[in-house]
Chain A
Amino acid sequence: MQIPLDFWSITLWIAVTSIILLITAQLVQAYDGPQMLLIDSRKLRAAALTMGTLFLATVAIHIYTIITTK
């Protein structure tokens, strides 16, 4: 029994999620009208930035791995 996701898969998932969140966070700020879903835009922005930072951290780990294995 183990999680069938490797580090590359999680990096890819974080990348896609952070792009979606960052775009949504920017669009939500510009949108001013009746909303189907009530969103705290500040929290959404914080989550988007966290995911973006997490992705950059995984990229840094990849680069470090490449450098140290050569």
Chain B
Amino acid sequence: MSSRRNASQNRRVSHPANGTAQTVSSDPVEEVIIGTKIHETIFVFNSFTKLKLGSAPTLLTVIRIRLGKEHVNKVIALMMLVLGLVSLLGSVLYSSYVAAFIGLGLSFWGALLLYIIPSKHVRLDLFTAAASSSLADIQKVLVDSASVSVPRGVYLPPKLLKDYRSSLVFVPSSTSTRLPKREEVDEENLRSKSPAGIYLTPPGLALSRLFEKELNVSFTETDLDYLQRELPKLFEKLEISKNTTVETVGATVIVTVSNHIFRALCEETSKLKRTHEAVGCPLSSALACALAKATGKPVIIEKEETTPDQSTTIRYIVLEA
């Protein structure tokens, strides 16, 4: 009987985005979802499923779901700020002691809330899920390229590239394959005939550019000492890791990053063996891009391992140009 009642409450509506028919309840709570985009619909539906068991959603709940948590927080903070300023103005006009305190408090907390709300908050698992697909693409390219037998990719220095701010990985076809000359490097094409191999965009290129933006410097204008000094501070500032060390032993650079936020993504990359060996995970790739730019020499990722204490140690070899 219960199922029959539910069926009678439901009705079929045409979705505005794709025109497909959907079964939507006539319950007023669920009316809100009609007319929204498909991803919003799923989110709103899931949110209201819980609410249906209790009372009807409040206006604030609907606004929160429509605008998103961050926007609601900003709207509330702005309202507090405006109310505070109005109250302060009123206190000056009417010489009111109470209104002055209320105005001071509201405007201060409004401004503070605007200041302390982070610009963007993304769940780590969403970020990992979004990034791992592009790594699977690199894996397909590497597996598809039958000629490529050497697993290690070489991060080319800026002097070999047409755009010195960019980065490129060259995966040679064999161990005897030489590195390409500047005029041979074709950043637009995937495959190279002379020397034989493939060119790939490093998975950590965007991340290394973000590092440059945060440091307000191009790595091409820096050196290894600068990276050793600034990378630990930068990683702490960006909340990637609280403990990072960069050591140099001859031509080997060892970077140890403890308990970093890219752990899950690096674990995903390690499942894609060819990708992991050729270009590394986005974090090690970004660091390789930075090293290639800072040293001005080709760099390869020799080894990348994560210890049980959640520290990732990456060994880079700086090749002679």
Contact = CB atoms under 8 A, between A and B. Distances in A.
Contacts of A37: 73, 113, 117
A44 B116 CA distance: 6
B101 A47 contact: no
A39 B104 contact: no
A8 interface: no
A38 B121 contact: yes
B108 interface: yes
Given A5-B101, A17-B108, A40 B96 contact: no
Size category of the A interface is 10 to 19
Nearest to B88: A3
Nearest to B104: A13
Nearest to B93: A1
A38 B108 contact: no
Contacts of B255: none
Contact of A2 (B73, B92, B105, B108): B92
Nearest to A16: B105
Main secondary structure of the interface of B (DSSP, over half): helix
A39 B119 CA distance: 10
B92 A40 contact: no
Contacts of B95: 1-2, 4
A20 B121 CA distance: 25
Nearest to B77: A37
B261 interface: no
A43 interface: yes
Interface residues of B, number: 22
Nearest to A28: B116
Contact of A5 (B69, B70, B104): B104
A5 B88 CA distance: 11
A3 B100 contact: yes
From B91, B108, B116, residue with most partner A Cβ within 10 Å: B116
A43 B96 CA distance: 32
Contacts of B116: 39-40, 43-44, 47
B100 to A, nearest CB: 5
B115 interface: yes
Nearest to A13: B104
Given A38-B73, A47-B112, A3 B91 contact: yes
A1 B70 contact: no
A4 B100 contact: yes
B70 A38 contact: yes
A44 B101 CA distance: 22
Contacts of A40: 116-118
B97 interface: yes
Interface in B79-115: 88, 91-93, 95-97, 100-101, 104-105, 108, 112-113, 115
Given A3-B91, A4-B96, A47 B115 contact: yes
B92 to A, nearest CB: 5
A17 to B, nearest CB: 7
Interface string B118-162: 100100000000000000000000000000000000000000000
Given A37-B73, A38-B69, A38-B70, A4 B91 contact: yes
Per CB-CB distance, the 4 closest pairs between chain A and chain B, nearest first, are: A40-B118, A43-B116, A44-B116, A38-B121
Interface of B: 69-70, 73, 88, 91-93, 95-97, 100-101, 104-105, 108, 112-113, 115-118, 121
Given A1-B93, A38-B118, 9 more contacts: A2-B92, A5-B97, A13-B101, A17-B108, A37-B113, A38-B70, A38-B121, A39-B116, A44-B116
